[in-house]
Amino acid sequence: MRARLVAGNWKMHGSRAANASLLDALLAGLGQTGAPRADNAERAECAVCVPFPYLEQVADRLAGSAVTWGAQNVSEHSAGAFTGEVSGAMLAEFGCRYAIVGHSERRQLFGETDTQVAAKFGAAQVSGLIPILCVGETLEGREAGRTEAVVAGQLDAVIAQVGAAAFGRAVVAYEPVWAIGTGKTATADQAQAVHAFLRGRLAAQDASVARGLRILYGGSVKATNAASTFAMPDVDGGLVGGAALVAEEFLAIVAAAGAKKHERLS
């Protein structure tokens, strides 16, 4: 059984005071030990991916708890004259477990290419971090029937650079660009179809790794749609944006992941 994961992406939000309140509320809601869960349900892992300046604050507050943390980006370079960049080794010093790579905002707003995202994926792993690789299509891509072609290209670029086996220590997040921050959400069946495609694509290279790969859904996840989406056999949790900034909402999403009792490794 794949361990479920709900990761909150704070994006460019936060302040020391707001962070402290949010983290305190999360830890209180989780009982300091893990996610609220239904009887006989597996506990979902809970993580927060925060802006670089707040990593020390988050690491200090979450140390010893069941909540893990990570960064929203990582440089493809290990060191050198790259002003403004942050290396994987630096993130590891703050106890980061995860680093998001290839988020649609990085691809669209900052011009990150599939090749650069693949390099960041590899750099994160070299530093001992678990990359959360984001893939997803725009509304134009979906309406043109190119969803599978787009996500396949994004996944294949990483496989070509680091190999399929590298996904044994990675997470993939399917985030349809048209459903990020828009209030629109892919239906549970739409999410399942893409997740199954991604798993099958990787299985063609390494079936064992594909069976164990956690694939998260990341398009306007809310408490109201989490349960139905997480019930799908190839959906292993969520990458949560705006709802991750509201403790009650985020806790409800984590609880929905914990309530998913049955899962097929397909």
Are the C-beta atoms of residues 174 and 213 closer than 8 Å to each other? Answer: no
Q: Which of 265, 264, 247 is nearest to 30 (CA)?
A: 247
Inter-residue contact 72 to 91 (CB < 8 Å): no
Instruction: Decide if 112 is catalytic.
Output: no
- φ and ψ of 26, to 5 deg: -65, -50
Q: Are the CB atoms for 155 and 195 separated by under 8 Å?
A: no
Q: Which of 42, 45, 76, 103 is catalytic?
A: 103
Answer yes or no: 262 catalytic.
no
- Residue 45 has which token pair? 């892992």
Beta strands in 144-200, from DSSP E residues, in sequence order: 171-174
Asked if 209 and 216 touch (Cβ cutoff 8 Å), the reply is: no
Amino acid at 203: A
Looking at the DSSP bridge assignments, the partners of residue 93 are: none
Distance CA 107, CA 150 (A): 13
Q: Are 256 and 5 in contact (CB under 8 A)?
A: no
Q: Given 76, 105, 137, 175, which residue is catalytic?
A: 175
For residue 116, the 8-state DSSP code is H
- Taking residue 54's Cβ as centre, other Cβ atoms within 10 Å add up to 21
Q: Enter the tokens of residue 266.
A: 């397909």
Distance CA 91, CA 131 (A): 12
Phi and psi torsions of 42, nearest 5°: -80, 145
The residues annotated with a catalytic role in the active site are 103, 175
